């Protein structure tokens, strides 16, 4: 592998000139920068990351801790983080908590040994339920943290969230006002999480404002969710719309409705939470609340990079990424 010294010799300039040109320093003219960068690219020059770390006291690596990558939302967020970090010459190390408090703690122990400059985190289900947040309190005193989606209000750090309450409120109100639905079922398997509570409350407010009855299924993780949904629909034939507040039960609801011989959206409209490609995994195409995972990841990474680049203490804030109601084949007005 070619070194900085070898590049300098080939270009007949000093090592300092090559280093400054590759760092886009204003001290170096554009013609020289072009010569240096073109040769570096041609010879596949890679900077010595360890030397850079010693010089700057930064690793240029971000620790990312997420509950799962099987969930398409988190995968999309991580994609947004990775693309943004790459543009700023940062790398990332990912740990998966698998919704476990203990595994989340171990992830922080692993990453907080000086191997990363900061953290981007979505809190594990187990952590939110038990509300054991001591590890976050310790880490936040020593390294910057950006939380996204699932956040802890008691931790003083930057946060990136979706307006979960208004998102579901507006989706429910759409079904009531635009489609004249009066018996709307909400399906939840994340009600114990901060985001789940906000979504349930948004649904309740919209239904109660129109003097309608709430219908809520809280799925039991020990039982078959498909059977629970199907059994509820059989026992409540009046249901004419369904809202799912997570990424998978909207598809389950659609399959259950079709299995009962009902037509979508003529008999029952369905709206789920999803991502850009959700429409390709169901027939008819599922109407979704698009959480904009890529944008959440991009925003989280930008906030952390700016915080790391600042020489002064930055006032923490909560950024809101606005989701979209994408109407497709499971609602009447698609």
Output the CATH code of domain 164-290.
3.40.50.2300
Q: What phi and psi values does residue 98 have, to the nearest 5 degrees?
A: 50, 35
In 61-163, which ranges are continuous DSSP H helix? Answer: 72-87, 101-111, 125-130, 134-140
Per-residue pLDDT of the chain (334 residues; tens, 9 = 90+): 688 888 888 889 888 898 888 878 888 889 999 998 898 888 888 776 545 554 555 789 999 999 999 988 999 999 999 999 999 989 999 999 999 999 999 999 999 877 899 999 999 999 999 999 999 999 998 899 999 999 999 999 999 999 999 999 999 999 999 999 999 999 988 888 889 999 999 999 999 999 999 999 998 766 788 889 999 999 999 999 999 998 788 999 999 999 999 999 999 999 999 877 776 788 899 999 999 999 999 999 999 999 998 867 778 999 999 999 999 999 996 5
Query: Which CATH fold topology does 59-161+293-321 show?
Result: Rossmann fold (3.40.50)
Structural domain boundaries in the chain: 4-47, 59-161+293-321, 164-290
CA angle at residue 96 from 90 to 101, to 5 degrees? 125
Same fold, 59-161+293-321 and 164-290: yes
Q: What pLDDT score was predicted for residue 54?
A: 44
Q: What's the helix, strand, coil split of the chain in %, to 5?
A: 45, 15, 35
**Edge-to-edge strands, sheet with 318-321:** 91-96, 61-66, 118-121, 145-148, 158-162, 318-321
Determine the 3-state secondary structure of 91 from DSSP: strand
Q: String of b and e for 171-206 (b: at least 16 CB within 10 Å)?
A: bbbbbbeebebbbbbbbbbbbebbbbbbbbebbbbb
Q: What pLDDT score was predicted for residue 186?
A: 97
CA angle at residue 224 from 221 to 228, to 5 degrees? 100
Q: What pLDDT score was predicted for residue 129?
A: 93
Kindly report the pTM of this predicted structure: 0.81
Strand bridging mode 145-148 / 158-162: parallel
Integer Cα distance of 32 and 213 in angstroms: 72
Integer Cα distance of 259 and 242 in angstroms: 15
């Amino acid at each position: 592998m070619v070194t900085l010294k070898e590049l300098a010799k080939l270009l007949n300039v000093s090592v300092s000139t090559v280093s400054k040109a590759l760092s886009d320093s204003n001290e170096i003219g554009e013609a020289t920068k072009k010569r240096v960068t073109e040769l570096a690219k041609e010879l596949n020059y890679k900077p010595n990351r360890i030397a850079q770390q010693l010089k700057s006291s930064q690793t240029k690596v971000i620790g990312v801790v997420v509950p799962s990558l099987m969930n398409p939302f988190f995968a999309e967020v991580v994609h947004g983080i990775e693309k943004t970090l790459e543009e700023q010459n940062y790398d990332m190390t990912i740990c998966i908590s698998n919704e476990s408090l203990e595994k989340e703690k171990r992830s922080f122990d692993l990453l907080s040994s000086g191997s990363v400059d900061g953290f981007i985190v979505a809190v594990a289900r187990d952590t939110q339920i038990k509300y054991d947040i001591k590890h976050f309190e310790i880490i936040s005193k020593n390294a910057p943290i950006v939380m996204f989606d699932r956040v802890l209000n008691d931790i003083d750090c930057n946060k990136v969230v979706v307006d979960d309450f208004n998102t579901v409120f507006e989706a429910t109100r759409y079904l009531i006002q635009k489609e004249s639905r009066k018996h709307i079922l909400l399906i939840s398997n994340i009600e114990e999480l901060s985001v789940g509570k906000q979504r349930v409350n948004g649904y309740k407010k919209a239904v109660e404002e129109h003097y309608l009855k709430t219908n809520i299924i809280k799925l039991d993780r020990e039982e078959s969710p498909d059977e629970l949904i199907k059994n509820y629909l059989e026992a409540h034939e009046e249901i004419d719309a369904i809202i799912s507040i997570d990424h998978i039960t909207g598809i389950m609801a659609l399959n259950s409705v079709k299995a009962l011989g009902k037509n979508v959206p003529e008999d029952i409209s369905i709206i789920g939470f999803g991502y850009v490609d959700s429409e390709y995994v169901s027939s008819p195409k599922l109407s979704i609340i698009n959480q904009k995972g890529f944008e959440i990841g991009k925003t989280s990474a930008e906030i952390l990079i700016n915080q790391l680049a600042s020489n002064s203490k930055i006032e923490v804030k909560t950024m809101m990424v606005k989701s979209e109601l994408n109407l497709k084949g499971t609602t009447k007005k698609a």
